[in-house]
Structure 1
Amino acid sequence: MWRQWLGHAWPPHKKGVLVMNTPTGNSLSAAELTCGMILCLARQIPQAAASMKEGKWDRKKYMGMELNGKTLGVLGLGRIGRAMQIVDMATGKGLAGIVNGQALSKAFVPQTKPWIALARALGMVLHTVGKQVQGSVQVCTLGEPGRLHPMPGHRDADGWAAHRGTRGPAGLGAQKEVTLRNALLLAQEAGLKVTTTHGDVAPESDGSAGLLQVALQGTPHRATGMVQGSTPVLRELNGATFKQPAPLAGPILIYRTKASEPSALPTLAGLLGKVGVHLQSYHSSGTVAGEQWSIVGLSAPLSNLGELKPRVMEVFQLHL
């Protein structure tokens, strides 16, 4: 509308009304008003006030709900959205997390879901291999410029891959309810420092869009994976590259052996036959320092690994 009055007095000015653009003038006030409205909705304050003015005392009817522990959804993180901070006045603690609605919608498009699943799987693998860990976790995306747009964490401050990738190393699976948005905060509480980076590299020979790597800094523990089709796969574990990337889905068995110990696979096959569990897939890595990793896809988890343990250096199961 202002273009129509360009070069002419705008009608409000003719009436002595001052009109100006003040983009930051009331951002905080608008955010505080929004917080107040949220409290009114949660505790039904307007309805309770109206009822009391009518001489009623409907205490149970307007009990409402507490905001403590709830997750606040913020649709758009502009000046007002960034100012949205709800705190517990008594303890000073905030809500469980703040969700950027625009970023959240991107996290559930078909192209992004496999990368989120990959990040979660790599984090779980790393946590199991590294046992209980503390220190620094680095989540890195690698790919050709412009080809990794669907990948979470690619030059994205929110870092969906970081949130899922740190869930495992922080040991957050059982203690607390972990979401895409609170995982980094919980990881910090667990003693982990999380950093995210992106590296532009040449495209892979297999045509994949890129790689996702989760590493425990200062240790040899590192897991690198990618997405083939819509399936998350593991490409490298602790420096050992798999000849064919191993699918990270369903019940899987991961074990490490001496390259000179060939009896692990026959022993595993015999164990599977006894309990009626089917071998769905088998992938082995190249040899590093005389050792190699193997990943076995199973139709169901094994209840007892006692027969296999004497044949391997370490073994563990995951259900992804």
Structure 2
Amino acid sequence: MAFSLKKVLISDSVSPRCAEILRENGIEVDNNTKLSKEELLAEIPKYDGLIVRSATKVTADVIKAGTNLKIIGRAGTGVDNIDIKAATRQGVIVMNTPGGNTLSAAEHTCAMVCCLSRSLPQAHATLKAGKWDRKAFMGSELYGKTLGIVGLGRIGREVAQRMQSFGMTTIGFDPIVPAEEAKQYNIEWQTLEQMWPRCDYITVHTPLIPQTKGLLGDASFKLCKPGVKVVNVARGGIIDEEGLVRALDAGQCGGAALDVFVQEPPTYTALIQHPKVIVTPHLGASTVEAQERVACEIAEQFVDGVNGKSLFGAINAQALSNALTPETKPMVSLGQGLGVVAASLAKGQLSAASIQVTTYGPSLKKAGSYLKAAVSAGILRVQTGGNNVNLVNAQPLLAELGLEITVNNEDAAPANSKASVAVTITVGGNPHRLGGAVFGTIPQLVEVDSATFDTGCPLSGNWLLYRSQNAAAALAAVASGLGDKNQLLAFSSSAQTNGESWSVIKLATPQPGVEALAGAVSSAVTCSI
């Protein structure tokens, strides 16, 4: 189980099937699509899940008020109506349905390209107004033309496939899709600078992020073929609206088809009323099939998350997504436990600490993402009390404290080491290296500073960890000091290195301090894992 989910609010209109799927899986659902922001702020503390489309604005205030929120689901693709940074900081998963709108958005894009090529909306409006003006609407064939696609994800690829059937040449750019992969879809990968001069049509299929804001504007239009036509069924702002109007007026851009706008409903009349512009009111995903699909998918993704199957569609929870398999769950517990012990050894000097996580062997080469988050969560449990810390927000919260964890992988553990993971914390030039491993499903501490324990110490419960020259004598002093106030449950001691050994005592209740051990040990810390 990734998280528990008892009650979900659906605050935008979605298919009834969404609520049905959640209820079928034992989750209580309320539908309330008429909440004002003030009403949403008052209601959201009652829920641990929220499902929206694009109408509800899930601001930082809403997220802060949602003291029980665990997950926010967007029945659709775009999440610019959700404050992801605020959600991440609060440990709330943000999830979308990346594939649900794909076909509808791709078809809408293709329809827009066809409309641009033949001025269909303008011709329709003219005839409706009683004018028969065939000469005013001379079009051009799509056959043999070049379509430039910015963003080669699901939608971009589907557009390419459909427009290739018209005989168009498809070229494209995507910073994370290599040329070899693009070639599989008959798309010639180009840089933007290479692509602009070749395109007869350009369509954008990217999120709106700082790198894509104003991607098509004054500077890029100057590099394009005169008369280029552009389509945006992605997000308003990817095409600079004022720059587009200037390009249209100058003839550098021959037409634009827009489904999305910087402000919705749009108020920039120079753009909306321009004779070379075709507009639709954000209809890319507005099909019966798409809305049914995204409603079902977000509900099913919630259920899969609750059941620990997957976190498909999670935008801000990569570490948690990678930690749901039976193999990785114990490794997450191992990382958290080692983080707790490491922070305890820092003795209140974490702000001056450097921390490194090392994994051993090829099987753990990709484990760094979730182990880094797990160790961060363990450290924060000691440093801040750990309230509301999870794998979603552990790393950002640790960064706020000025701490950064580095991760590396080595082919094999050092000689005579049983560790599969090591956490090294260095304070004031003094490093402590903690080696851990999972035996069966139990995460255990197996070594401290190269001193190996004969039997591993399960990373759970209340610990007293100390270093001494005589482990047995120190144990007697500890047992005497406990008296009737606490109970010793288990004891383990390492081999000696440099004349000292490390020992772990598991206690029934947390030990308030280690002052009484000053004469029997050279170093001691307490921790609760």
Query: Normalising by the residue count of structure 2, what TM-score does the alignment of the two structures yield?
Result: 0.41
Per the TM alignment, residue 260 of structure 1 is displaced from its structure 2 partner at its CA by 5.2
Report if the CA contact (8 A) 2:471-2:503 is conserved.
no
**How does 1:1-320 map onto structure 2 within 5 Å?**
40=12, 47=34, 65=44, 66-69=61-64, 73=71, 84-85=79-80, 94-95=86-87, 96=89, 99=93, 101-102=311-312, 104=320, 106-131=322-347, 132-134=349-351, 135-143=353-361, 145-146=362-363, 148=364, 154-156=365-367, 159-170=369-380, 171-174=382-385, 177-201=388-412, 211-217=420-426, 219-257=430-468, 259=469, 263-272=473-482, 274-275=483-484, 277-303=486-512, 305-320=514-529
The alpha carbon displacement at 1:123 in A equals: 0.5
Whether the 8 Å contact between 1:137 and 1:166 is mirrored in structure 2 is no
Distance in 1 of aligned mates of 2:378 and 2:436: 15
The alpha carbon displacement at 1:141 in A equals 1.6
Write the distance in 2 (CA, Å) between the matches of 1:175 and 1:278: 25
CA pair 117-64 structure 1, distance change in 2 beyond 3 A:
same
CA RMSD of aligned residues (A): 4.0
Q: Which residue of structure 1 lines up, in the alignment, with residue 201 of structure 2?
A: none
The answer to whether the 8 Å contact 2:358/2:421 transfers is yes
Distance between the aligned counterparts of 1:253 and 1:245, measured in 2? 15
After superposition, what is the alpha-carbon deviation per residue over 1:48-68, rounded to whole angstroms, capped at 9, x for unaligned?
Answer: 59xxxxxxxxx8699654533
Taking a change above 3 Å as real, the CA distance of residues 156 and 235 of structure 1, as seen in their structure-2 partners, is: closer
Distance 1:117 1:305 in 2: 26
User: For the Cα contact (< 8 Å) 2:451–2:497, is it kept in 1?
Assistant: yes
- Relative to structure 1, is the Cα distance of residues 302 and 46 closer, same or farther in structure 2, using a 3 angstrom cutoff? closer
CA offsets 1:156-190 (integer angstroms, 9 cap, x no match): 57x22111202344554427521111111011110
Counterpart code for 2:507 = L
Structure whose alpha-carbon radius of gyration is higher: 2
Contact 2:336 2:379 in 1 (8 A): no
Q: Size of the alignment, in residue pairs? A: 255
Query: Whose helix proportion is higher, 1 or 2?
Result: 2
- Seen in structure 2, the aligned counterparts of structure 1 residues 201 and 155 have a Cα distance that, compared at 3 Å, is same
Q: CA deviation at 1:205?
A: 8.5
Once residues 116 and 238 of structure 1 are traced to their aligned partners in structure 2, the CA distance between those partners, rounded to angstroms, is 22
Structure 2 CA distance, aligned partners of 1:175 and 1:202? Answer: 31
Q: Deviations over 1:64-86 (max 9, x none)?
A: 5453336785889xxx96x7455
Question: What is the identity, as a one-letter code, of the residue corresponding to 1:121?
Answer: G
Tell me the distance in 1 between the aligned counterparts of 2:324 and 2:346: 30
Q: Secondary structure of the residue that 1:162 maps to in structure 2? A: helix
Cα deviations by residue, 1:265-286 (Å, 9 ceiling, x for unpaired): 22223344x3174433221122
Secondary structure in 2 aligned to 1:166?
helix
CA shift in 2, pair 1:219/1:233, >3 Å: same
Change (3 A) 1:204 1:278: farther
Q: Deviations over 1:23-51 (max 9, x none)?
A: xxxxxxxxxxxxxxx9857xx995359xx
Matched residue type, 1:137: I
Point out which structure has higher relative CO (alpha carbons under 8 A, 6+ apart).
Answer: 1
Partners of 1:122 and 1:165 within 8 A in 2? yes
- Structure 1's 39 and 236: CA in aligned 2 closer, same or farther, altered over 3 A? same
Q: Deviations over 1:89-124 (max 9, x none)?
A: xxx964335747235455244332221111111001
**Letter matched to residue 475 of structure 2:** L
Quote the residue 2:250 is aligned against.
none
Give me the whole-angstrom Cα distance separating, in 2, the residues matched to 1:46 and 1:169. Answer: 41
Give 1:181's aligned amino acid. V
Q: Distance in 1 between matches of 2:35 and 2:511?
A: 57
Structure 1 pair 308–278 and aligned structure 2 pair: CA distance change class (3 A): same
For structure 1, the residue ranges without an aligned partner over 5 or more in a row are 1-37, 50-58, 149-153
Q: Give yes or no for contact 2:444–2:457 (8 Å, CA) kept in 1.
A: yes
1:176 to 1:284, Cα distance in 2 relative to 1, 3 A: same
> TM-score, normalised to structure 1's length?
0.64
Q: Secondary structure at the match of 2:350?
A: coil
CA 1:191–1:260 in 2, change beyond 3 Å: closer, same or farther?
A: same
1:85–1:94 Cα contact (<8 Å) kept: no
Q: Aligned with 1:178: secondary structure?
A: coil
What does residue 307 of structure 2 align with? none
